[in-house]
């Protein structure tokens, strides 16, 4: 199977998945959105109401904030991959629990091997913790960790992790908007500086 076929199969598996109880309450599972491979992978927490309705990640208010941040660093949304730790909306937007996260984990693992991102950007405390822990890094508080550049050596080369605040955080704390914009400039700088010779012409 080529990458695009694998991606279609994976999306279909997510859309029909019943591996955890969130399957019973979701309207649509939300596999993720974007090209494979992609240079950047954004990982949020879980779909919200709008995402559940449409089956697409970050289409509500948090989504328009994310779009604005991407525009600010001249990155097209169509060029990045966006997904969540769990693919189905938890009732009343509660935090996903351990059982749901573990059940859903293989989908994100498969996405990582298809997308092969140079830069992973966890959005918010929840995704930050999951991503750093899965690379064996003890996560600090997001107030200290946001905007930091973690460089991980993998068998397929260097991978960079840059955690940022969740875009929705700016709704209640407008001051976070500038912090997020500054952290996105770090993302831009890392992308601009990476030679990524093996990724040219992909």
Considering only residues 72 to 91 of the shown chain, the ones binding ligand SF4 according to CB under 6 A are: 86-88
Q: Report the partner that residue 130 touches, choosing among ligand SF4, ligand URA, none (CB closer than 5 to 8 A by kind).
A: none
51 binds, among ligand URA, ligand SF4, none (CB under 5 to 8 A by kind): ligand URA
100 scored as a contact of ligand SF4 (CB under 6 A): yes
Q: Which residue is closest to ligand URA by CB?
A: 44
Q: Is 159 helix (H, G, I), strand (E, B) or coil?
A: strand
Q: Residue 184 Cβ, how far from ligand URA at the closest point, in Å?
A: 17
**Alpha helices (H) along 26-94:** 49-54, 61-72
Interface size with ligand SF4, residues (CB under 6 A):
14
Can you tell me the distance from the alpha carbon of 124 to that of 168, in angstroms, rounded to the nearest whole number? 9
DSSP one-letter code for 160? E
Cα–Cα distances (Å) from 98 to 25, 86, 117, 126, 184, in that order, read 17, 10, 25, 12, 30
- Under the binding rule (CB under 6 A), the answer on residue 176 touching ligand URA is no
What counts of helices (H) and strands (E) characterise the chain?
Answer: 9, 5
The full length of the chain comes to: 202
Among 84, 111, 170, 186, binds ligand URA (CB under 6 A): 84
- Distance between CA 26 and CA 33 in Å, rounded? 18
165 part of the interface to ligand URA, by CB under 6 A: no
69 in contact with ligand SF4 (CB under 6 A): no
Give me the least distance between CB of 92 and ligand URA, in Å please.
Answer: 14
Name the CA radius of gyration of the chain, rounded.
16
Residue with Cβ nearer ligand URA (10 or 46): 46
| DSSP-derived 3-state class of residue 89 | coil
> What's the closest the beta carbon of residue 168 comes to ligand URA, in angstroms?
6
String of contacts with ligand URA for each residue 33-52, x by CB under 6 A: -----------xxxxx--x-
* 164 contact choice in ligand URA, ligand SF4, none (CB below 5 to 8 Å, kind-dependent): none
Q: Which of 119, 53, 42, 118 is nearest to 83 (CA)?
A: 42
Strand partners, 122: 43
- The residues binding ligand URA (CB under 6 A) are 44-48, 51, 57-58, 62, 84, 168
């Amino acid at each position: 199977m080529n990458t695009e076929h694998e991606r279609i199969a994976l999306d279909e598996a997510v859309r029909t998945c019943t591996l955890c109880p969130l399957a019973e309450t979701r309207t649509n599972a939300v596999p993720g959105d974007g090209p494979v491979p992609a240079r950047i992978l954004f990982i949020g927490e879980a779909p919200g109401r709008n995402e559940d309705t449409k089956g697409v990640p970050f289409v509500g208010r948090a989504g328009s904030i994310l779009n604005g941040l991407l525009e600010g660093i001249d990155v097209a949304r169509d060029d990045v991959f966006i997904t969540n730790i769990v693919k189905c909306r938890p009732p009343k937007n509660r935090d996903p629990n351990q059982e749901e996260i573990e059940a859903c984990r293989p989908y994100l693992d498969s996405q990582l091997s298809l997308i092969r991102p140079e830069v992973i950007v966890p959005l918010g405390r929840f995704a930050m913790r999951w991503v750093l822990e899965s690379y064996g890094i003890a996560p600090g508080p997001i107030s200290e960790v946001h905007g930091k550049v973690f460089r991980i050596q993998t068998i397929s080369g260097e991978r960079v992790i840059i955690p940022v605040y969740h875009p929705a955080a700016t709704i209640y704390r407008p001051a976070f908007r500038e912090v997020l914009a500054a952290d996105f400039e770090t993302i831009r700088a890392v992308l601009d500086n990476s030679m990524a010779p093996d990724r040219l012409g992909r």
